[in-house]
């Protein structure tokens, strides 16, 4: 407790088993990158499944892709890219000792995330109406060739898992925002906020690949 | 390390690092670049460039991801160990994709799903299962 007070840190940040905050920060970043590596490999499994079936059903994938709402997908790409910027700015404001600006950026990020999910919900609703659904629920009138149901299985799995990550990211950023407003992050310590931001950037990175692979075949 | 017994510990010099000189301009530059590449992938994707469509789309997506990882995720300021973790994960993604696609690309007809119109005739041995070949 006393070493935290001496460093001007709020209590509960520097673990007693770390000899310095710099070492704790380095360990935290390394741990976060290890976790993100497992996330990358989790999505890589789905991308590999996508590669296999796109290789086997190129016409069906191209045809189904053209029935997705390209405009909504593009808008969502811009939304997520901009939300990545606002997270990066939140960390920038925290480390330059402007916690209110940082919290505002985090709130904007969460609003972007909600907008993303709202647009995705509009797309999902359309799929349910036209029955472009996975597996045996597929009954889309406009594309009736082998492999079309597989495209929509992968589409729902990939965008669905991504949407779960968006929701998880919103929760993480919500905690980050609360902590920022309560003075936890400053130029002395902002690692917790940085790690939350890294998670959000990973969510953005996954979408950067999903967008051309699903919407622009 | 003889820290036991000391109520206060030596603080690392970096613990007192002040960051008021930190600039947000790289983030804005990266954001503009990401928007530019999004427009680029949109325009090239809509052309349906055939064979080149997928390599172009993936090259743009990889460039965008690299910008996010290096600038937004601070990989450029990270230690070697964190870079190694990220790099290793990419190597394993490449291994997974390469060997799986190589496997699928070299299969013959009975091992591909029904109705698959591609990758079958090419590797079809002469005279085998001719009644199953598409018109």
Q: Is the pTM of this model over 0.90?
A: no
Whether A189 is in a domain gets the answer: yes
Task: Check residue A143 and give its pLDDT.
Answer: 81
Note the pLDDT of residue B134.
53
Residue B2 lies in a domain: no
CB pairs under 8 A between A and B: 188
Among B57, B77, B97, the domain-final residue is B77
Count the domains in chain B.
2
**DSSP alpha helix (H) spans, chain B:** 25-47, 53-67, 80-105
Contact B37, B59 (CB under 8 A): no
Query: Quick one: B70 and B34 in the same domain?
Result: yes
Q: What letter does residue A160 receive in the DSSP assignment?
A: H
Q: Residue A96's pLDDT is what?
A: 92
C-beta atoms of A97 and B79 within 8 A: no
Q: Is the pLDDT of residue A203 over 60?
A: yes
- Whose CA is closest to B3, among A178, A4, A18? A18
**Is A14 part of a structural domain of the chain?**
no
- Which two structure tokens, joined as six digits, stand for B49? 């460039």
In the predicted model, is pLDDT for residue A43 greater than 60? yes
Instruction: Look at residue B107 in the predicted model and tell me its pLDDT.
Output: 81
Contact yes or no for A146 and B117 at CB 8 A: yes
pLDDT band at A6 (very low <50, low <70, confident <90, very high): low
State residue B117's pLDDT score: 62
Backbone angles phi, psi at A35, to 5 degrees: -65, -45
The answer to whether position B133 is within a domain reads: no
B57 shares a domain with B33: yes
Say if residues A74 and A215 touch (Cβ distance below 8 Å). yes
- Tell me how many degrees the CA angle B60-B64-B66 measures, rounded to the nearest 5: 115
Is A13 domain-assigned? Answer: no
Return the pLDDT at A141. 82
Nearest residue of B to residue A199 by CA position? Answer: B73
- Both B67 and B97 in one domain: the answer is no
In terms of domains, do B67 and B83 share one? Answer: no
pLDDT level of residue A183 (50, 70, 90 thresholds): confident
CATH number at residue A88: 1.20.120.80
pLDDT at B21: 73
Per the prediction, chain A carries an average pLDDT of: 91
**Tens of pLDDT, residues A52-63:** 999 888 888 999
Judgement on whether residues B105 and B118 belong to the same structural domain of the protein = yes
Q: Give the model's pLDDT for residue B123.
A: 45
Is B83 found in the same domain as B71?
Answer: no
Could A208 and B100 be called an inter-chain contact, meaning their C-beta atoms sit closer than 8 Å?
no
**Do B41 and B58 share a domain, yes or no?**
yes
Residue-level pLDDT at B12: 47
pLDDT band at A98 (very low <50, low <70, confident <90, very high): very high
User: Mean pLDDT, to the nearest integer, of A161-171?
Assistant: 97
State residue A22's pLDDT score. Answer: 85
Question: A44 vs B92: CB contact, 8 Å cut-off?
Answer: yes
The distance of Cα B36 from the centroid of its chain, to the nearest Å, equals 19
Task: Give the C-alpha separation, B1 to B122, whole Å.
Answer: 67
Q: Is the separation of the CB atoms in A177 and A196 below 8 Å?
A: no
What is the extent of the structural domain holding A201?
39-215
- Give me the long-range contacts of B42-47 (CB less than 8 A, separation at least 24): B42/A70, B42/A74, B42/A216, B45/A212, B45/A215, B45/A216, B45/A217, B46/A70, B46/A216
Q: Does the pLDDT at position A28 exceed 50?
A: yes
Mention every residue, 6+ apart, whose C-beta is less than 8 A from residue A95.
Answer: A185, A186, A187, A190, B19, B22
Spell out which residues of chain B touch residue A145, defining contact as CB-CB under 8 Å. 115
Predicted confidence at residue A7, as pLDDT, reads 62
Reported as a single tens digit per residue, the pLDDT across A100-126 is 999 999 999 999 999 999 999 999 999
B116–chain A nearest CA distance, Å: 5
How far is residue A164's CA from residue B50's CA, in Å, rounded to a whole number? 33
Residue A48 forms part of a structural domain: yes
Q: Do A7 and B16 touch (CB under 8 A)?
A: yes
Q: What's chain B's length in residues? A: 135
What is the per-residue pLDDT for B6?
42
Segments forming the whole domain that contains residue B85: 79-128
Q: Above pLDDT 90, what percent of chain A?
A: 73
Q: pLDDT tens digits, chain B, 135 residues: what are they?
A: 444 444 444 444 444 454 557 888 999 999 999 999 999 999 998 887 878 889 999 999 999 999 999 999 998 888 889 999 999 999 999 999 999 999 988 887 777 777 776 544 444 444 444 445 554
Q: Which of A44-48, A73-77, A185-189 has the lowest mean pLDDT?
A: A185-189
Asked whether residue A33 is assigned to any structural domain, the reply reads no
In a domain, A6, yes or no: no
Q: Mutate which of B48, B56, B64 to test chain A, going by most A C-beta atoms within 10 A?
A: B64
CB B98 within 8 A of CB B106: no
3-state secondary structure at position B6: coil
Is A24 domain-assigned? Answer: no
Instruction: With beta carbons less than 8 A apart as the criterion, state whether A159 and A214 touch.
Output: yes
Instruction: Determine, yes or no, domain membership for A115.
Output: yes
Same domain for B68 and B90, yes or no, is no
Structure-derived torsion over alpha carbons of residues A162, A168, A169, A175, reported in degrees to the nearest 10? 180
End-to-end CA distance of chain A: 57
User: What ipTM is given for this predicted complex?
Assistant: 0.90
Q: Are residues B64 and B92 in the same domain?
A: no
Same domain (yes/no): B45, B67: yes
pLDDT of residue B23: 87
- What whole-number distance in Å separates Cα of residue A188 and Cα of residue B18? 7
Domain count, chain A: 1
Please check the confidence at residue A200 and state whether its pLDDT lies above 50: yes
Helix H segments across A57-190?
58-65, 70-95, 99-130, 148-181
Q: What are the distances in angstroms from CA A187 to CA A11, A75, A210, B75?
A: 16, 34, 35, 19
In chain A, pLDDT over 70 holds for what percent of residues?
A: 96
pLDDT of residue B10: 45
Contact at 8 Å (CB) between A116 and A83?
yes
Nearest by Cα to A47 from A148, A155, A204: A155
In whole angstroms, what is the distance from residue A164 CA to residue A152 CA?
18
* Residues of chain A contacting B8 with CB distance shorter than 8 Å: 2-3, 6
């Amino acid at each position: 407790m006393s070493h935290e007070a001496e460093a001007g840190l709020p209590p509960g940040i520097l673990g007693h088993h770390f000899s310095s905050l710099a070492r704790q920060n380095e360990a935290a970043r390394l741990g976060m990158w290890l976790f993100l590596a497992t996330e990358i490999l989790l999505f890589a499994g789905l991308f590999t499944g996508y590669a296999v079936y796109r290789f086997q059903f190129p016409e069906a994938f191209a045809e189904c892709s053209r029935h997705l709402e390209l405009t909504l997908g593009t808008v969502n790409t811009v939304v997520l890219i901009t939300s990545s910027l606002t997270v990066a700015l939140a960390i920038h404001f925290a480390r330059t000792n402007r916690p209110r600006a940082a919290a505002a950026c985090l709130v904007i990020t969460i609003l972007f995330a909600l907008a993303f999910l709202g647009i995705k919900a509009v797309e999902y609703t359309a799929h349910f109406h036209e029955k472009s659904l996975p597996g045996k629920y597929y009954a889309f009138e406009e594309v009736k060739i082998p492999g079309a149901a597989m495209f929509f299985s992968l589409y729902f799995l990939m965008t669905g898992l991504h949407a779960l990550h968006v929701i998880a990211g919103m929760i993480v950023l919500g905690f980050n925002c609360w902590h920022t407003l309560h003075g936890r992050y400053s130029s002395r310590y902002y690692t917790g906020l940085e790690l939350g931001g890294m998670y959000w950037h990973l969510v953005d990175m996954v979408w950067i690949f999903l967008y051309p692979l699903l919407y622009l075949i | 390390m003889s820290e036991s017994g000391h109520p206060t510990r030596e603080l690392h010099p970096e613990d007192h690092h002040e960051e008021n000189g930190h600039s947000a301009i790289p983030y804005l530059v990266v954001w503009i670049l990401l928007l530019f590449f999004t427009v680029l992938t949109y325009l090239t994707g809509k052309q349906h460039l055939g064979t080149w469509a997928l390599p172009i789309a993936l090259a743009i997506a990889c460039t965008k991801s690299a910008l996010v990882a290096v600038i937004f995720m601070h990989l450029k300021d990270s230690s070697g160990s964190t870079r190694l973790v990220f790099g290793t994960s990419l190597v394993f993604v490449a291994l997974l994709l390469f060997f799986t696609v190589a496997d699928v690309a070299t299969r013959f007809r009975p091992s591909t799903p029904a109705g698959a119109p591609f990758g079958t005739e090419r590797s079809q041995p002469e005279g085998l299962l001719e009644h199953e070949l598409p018109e």
